[in-house]
Amino acid sequence: MSLPSNRTAVLADPDEIARRIPNGALLGLPPDNSTPSMAAVHALIRRGAKDLRLLGVPVLGLSADLLIGAGCVAEVESSAVSLGEAGLAPRFTEAVERAQIRMRDATCPAVHTALQATEKGVPFMPLRGILGSDLVGGRGDWKVIDNPLRAGDPILIVPAIQPDVALFHARWADEAGNVWVGRRRELATIAHASKRCYVTVEEFRPGDMLEDELLAPGVLGSVYVTGIARAERGAWPLSLVGVYGVDDAQLRRYAAAAKTRAGFEAYLDEFVRTGRAARLHDRAAGR
Amino acid sequence: MSSYAPEELLACTIARLVADAGHIAVGAASPIPATAAFLLKLKNPGLRISLLHKRSGNPFTEGTRELFDLAGQGRIDVFFLGGAQIDGEANINLVRAEGRRFPGSFGSAFMYFAAGRTILFREEHSRRVLVPKVDFVSAPGWSPPAVERRGGPQALLTGKALFSWQKERRRFRLESVHPGGSAEEIRADTGFDYDAPAQVPVTVAPRAEDLALLRGPVAVEIAKNYPEFARRIWCSASS
């Protein structure tokens, strides 16, 4: 399959992004502190997405717990799934304990390395450490080889991973379809390695950010960007560094509610399934 | 004698263990190790701290892989790891035990090898956590000679005691018991066997000057990144 390299599509809203992500897709997602598109995650739940396979780059949190609890997920590959200071990810924990989803345990640098292999178009890459961990035996696709350049040196290789879709939130997109990710370069890595990339952005900017030498180093070029949609406060209740912080109270509220199935469903009804989430986004944005 | 929170004793103990480090990295959800690092930084301004989840002014500009790339090159002296289970060979388990699922291995399977040394840290000290053999090895405590490995465990600190790791014997040694506990209690609450001196010392209490630093500038720094923890220990709020 050839990768798209034509013009970036400007989409109406996060729901239009959700309609373009097929059931069963391998979805590359950033960690909670690196701006998942919560607006698009909510839209995927409203769409009733099914059988998604989530790749945590390198870990996951609220975004995955919501998708899992809402029944959108068949499989997770990640180095961890947790809500950080707010504790365990309750819907993930229950789904794995009840064998409702498949879990492929990884470790952070292995995920990064596997995506970097795809960026370079090579079939695998080696990395140090990890030997002796039960992670290796749990993964049919990781191999221990003898270093071909120095005998007697066992080393792990991991296969390249190519997600079907990269999905995240960012601060700006411009008229040329470029997206500014700033220092959050893992967002660029996920986009580089994925077949398609959908981004929700806080704001559209006029012009072309590649012509601004100060902005250009933080830009993900439009060649990687399939579609963009505006979503103000699109990372809420997570943070968009430099624009708004984590809504810690909302995270605590989620962590408490999601401990039970009924509490989780009530959370979805209040903040995801209805238009209330959008209104809260608006309120948080001071409109 | 001043009173102090158990978390303050743990942070001061970690600070003593890693006082000679040039570069300390702190991973996810580790407020007590972060507290120790910021305490040391006040005494040694040349100390470099890389706080992976620093909300503002984060040290990394290449994304989260940069921490692992730094460690892979040997640029990180000290890292911290915990475990749902930790066994007597310093293996750690962050994945599953007794039918229960935990978040996952994070970067442990790499960082335990690549950091210059690792402090194992877990507040709960019980036979549930400190087991004879972990149910799942997220990261092994030691490796055979053929496997390239820069670092490994230095010590295991719990809410009740401090153990050192004896690399040659592949066993822990009880170094001290925190105030209020006893060597017998530690033996009873520890699921794995370990060495111990005939007389086990009491863990050194925090000094008044260190407590003052913790409750002043360190609390302010910690509140920016671990607001829940700072509120609980020092009733301080992030600005």
Q: Compare CB distances from B68 to A89, A108, A187 and report the shortest one's residue.
A: A108
**CA-closest candidate to residue A82, choices A92, A96, A95, A71:** A92
What's the confidence (pLDDT) of residue B36? 97
pLDDT digits 0-9 by tens, B77-121: 999 999 999 999 999 999 999 999 999 999 999 999 999 999 999
- Apex CA B166: angle with CA B160 and CA B168, to 5°? 160
pLDDT digits 0-9 by tens, B148-161: 999 999 999 999 99
Determine the Cα–Cα distance for residues B218 and B24; give it in Å rounded to an integer.
16
Q: How confident is the model at residue B238 (pLDDT cuts 50, 70, 90)?
A: very low
Q: Tell me if B107 and A109 make a contact (CB, 8 A cut-off).
A: yes
Between β-strands A73-78 and A124-127, what pairing exists: parallel, antiparallel or unpaired? unpaired
Judge whether residue B210 has pLDDT over 60: yes
What's the confidence (pLDDT) of residue A281? 56
| Alpha carbon of A24: minimum distance to chain B alpha carbons (Å) | 23
pLDDT mean over A93-115: 98
pLDDT digits 0-9 by tens, B28-46: 778 999 999 999 999 999 9
What's the confidence (pLDDT) of residue A5? 62
pLDDT mean over B2-12: 93
pLDDT digits 0-9 by tens, A64-78: 999 999 999 999 999
Query: How many Cβ contacts (< 8 angstroms) between chains A and B?
Result: 153
Cis-peptide into A58, omega within 30 deg: yes
Q: Tell me if A82 and B65 make a contact (CB, 8 A cut-off).
A: no
pLDDT mean over A201-222: 97
Class of residue A232 by CB neighbours under 10 A (exposed 0-12, middle 13-18, buried 19+): middle
pLDDT mean over A6-25: 94
Q: Which residue in chain B has the smallest CA separation from A93?
A: B101
Q: How confident is the model at residue B63 (pLDDT cuts 50, 70, 90)?
A: confident
Judge whether residue B27 has pLDDT over 90: no
pLDDT digits 0-9 by tens, A172-186: 999 999 999 999 999
CA atoms within 13 Å, Cβ hemisphere of A137: 7
Q: Tell me if B100 and A79 make a contact (CB, 8 A cut-off).
A: no
Q: Which residue in chain A has the smallest CA separation from B99?
A: A97
Q: Which residues on neighbouring strands pair with residue B49, listed in sequence order?
A: B24
pLDDT mean over B45-66: 86
CA dihedral A15, A20, A24, A29 (to 10 degrees): -70
pLDDT mean over A212-221: 96
Q: Tell me if A132 and B137 make a contact (CB, 8 A cut-off).
A: yes
Q: Tell me if B146 and A154 make a contact (CB, 8 A cut-off).
A: yes
Which residues of A are less than 8 Å from B228 in CB distance? 85-86, 248
Q: Among the listed ranges A91-105, A151-165, B60-74, B123-137, which one has the minimum average pLDDT value?
A: B60-74
Q: Compare CB distances from A96 to B94, B101, B229 and report the shortest one's residue.
A: B101
Q: Which residue in chain A has the smallest CA separation from B151?
A: A129
Judge whether residue A265 has pLDDT over 70: yes
Q: What are the residues whose beta carbons fall under 8 Å from the beta carbon of B56, sequence distance 6 or more?
A: A241, B224
Q: Compare CB distances from B138 to A82, A110, A135 and report the shortest one's residue.
A: A135
Give the rounded percent of residues in chain A with a pLDDT score beyond 90: 90
Judge whether residue B236 has pLDDT over 70: no
Q: Which residue in chain A has the smallest CA separation from B110?
A: A129
What's the confidence (pLDDT) of residue A287? 47
What's the confidence (pLDDT) of residue B235? 84
Judge whether residue A243 has pLDDT over 50: yes
pLDDT mean over A202-223: 96
Judge whether residue A268 has pLDDT over 60: yes
Q: Which residue in chain B has the smallest CA separation from A217?
A: B61
Q: Which residue in chain B has the smallest CA separation from A183?
A: B61
What's the confidence (pLDDT) of residue A223? 95
pLDDT mean over B186-205: 97
What's the confidence (pLDDT) of residue A276? 53
Q: What single-letter amino acid sits at B107?
A: G
pLDDT mean over A181-210: 96
- Interface ipTM: 0.93
Q: How confident is the model at residue B239 (pLDDT cuts 50, 70, 90)?
A: very low
What's the confidence (pLDDT) of residue A3? 67
Which residues of A are less than 8 Å from B100 in CB distance? 93, 97
What's the confidence (pLDDT) of residue B167? 96
Can you give the pTM of this predicted structure? 0.94
Determine the Cα–Cα distance for residues A14 and A32; give it in Å rounded to an integer.
18
Q: What single-letter amino acid sits at B216?
A: G
Q: b or e along B185-223 (b: 16 or more beta carbons within 10 Å of the residue's beta carbon)?
A: ebeebbbbebebeeebeebebbeeebbebbbeebbbbbb
* Interface with chain B: mutation pick from A78, A82, A135, highest number of B CBs within 10 Å: A135
First to last CA, chain B: 32
| Alpha carbon of A263: minimum distance to chain B alpha carbons (Å) | 20
Q: Tell me if B113 and A130 make a contact (CB, 8 A cut-off).
A: yes
Q: State the DSSP string of A45-86.
A: HHHT--SEEEEESS-B-HHHHHHHHTT-EEEEEES-BB-GGG
Q: Residue A219, SS3?
A: strand
